[in-house]
Structure 1
Amino acid sequence: MKINALFLQKKDPMKRFAALLICLILASCYAPERDCKAFKTGTFEFESFLNGELVTSRFIRNDSIEIDMFQGKSDTASVRWVNDCEYILTNLNPKNMAEEKPLQIRIITTEKDSYTFEYSLVGSPEKQRGTVTRVKE
């Protein structure tokens, strides 16, 4: 205890600076563990707000196709994995120009039965976040 108190005293600002620098370096090395491969296939749910109402979308994904079911309608998109934690969704049957633009999705963190992701239109700097939960059937 005496060593720590002496080390951080105001008498030696260089030692305080060195201790702070070491703490910052160690903190910057932290990266959350991600098991993205566990979420490449399966049935999932995504909740979001639409016009002020909480709605749930369910989708089934295999390695190359994702089928989204929302409000009694289904949509199919191709899935192209860029790496284990990033993929591009391209709507196979777009109904308008907005649906023609592919979505880029990046898994940020994973838990046992869910993951948090960041998504945007390909090429767009504006990103949004969401959380997906695996459905146990």
Structure 2
Amino acid sequence: MKKTFLLLLLVSCIACKQYENQRDCDDFRTGTFVWEQESGGKLLKTTFVRTEDMQIETFEGVTDTSRVEWVNECEWRIIPVNPKTNADSRAYLFKILNTTANSYTFEFTQSGRDEIYRGEARKVE
């Protein structure tokens, strides 16, 4: 009886381990990334290049530059460098939820807002 319980416990632990989210955040700290999302039946594409302290993002022909501040290994804040309006000056907080070999799933919020958005970015370089 005791051996059966220990065997069942061991199998349960192994099974649980297989379903843990993988988060190799260091692999996605810097590089060139693409984020695609559908909105109103249209596929929108954002390309961004992130270094340790800067992020340059291009969306629909418009390029913006932001400062990057790392909170921890899997979370960072981007702060616009030259915002055109007060609303554009708000920081965004990003958090990697899980990773694969070449992509990461993330969530982000804008400073002062309650909405949480999610997406998946693919590393291209």
Query: TM-score scaled by structure 2?
Result: 0.81
Residue 113 of structure 1, CA deviation: 0.3
Partner residue in 1 for 2:123? 134
Which of these two proteins has the greater Rg computed from alpha carbons?
Answer: 1
Partner residue in 1 for 2:100? 111
2:40 is aligned with 1:60: no
2:63 is aligned with 1:74: yes
Q: Which segments of 5 or more consecutive residues in structure 2 lack a partner in the other structure?
A: 2-7
Separation of aligned partners in 1, 2:34 and 2:123: 6
Partner residue in 2 for 1:88? 77
Separation of aligned partners in 1, 2:35 and 2:51: 17
Please identify which structure carries the higher strand content: 2
Residue 37 of structure 1, CA deviation: 0.5
Partner residue in 1 for 2:32? 43
Give the letter for the 1:47 counterpart: E
CA offsets per residue over residues 11-65 of structure 1, 9 Å max, x none? xxxxxxxx9xxx7xx859x642210001011000001234431111100000000
Task: Flag the structure with more relative contact order, 1 or 2, with Cα contacts below 8 A and sequence separation at least 6.
Answer: 2
Pick aligned residue for 2:88 from 60, 80, 99:
99
Give the letter for the 1:128 counterpart: Y
Separation of aligned partners in 1, 2:112 and 2:32: 28
Q: Which segments of 5 or more consecutive residues in structure 1 lack a partner in the other structure?
A: 4-18
Runs of 4+ in structure 1 off by over 4 angstroms are none
Identity %: 36
**Partner of 1:87: helix, strand, or coil?**
strand
Query: TM-score scaled by structure 1?
Result: 0.74
Q: CA RMSD in A?
A: 2.7
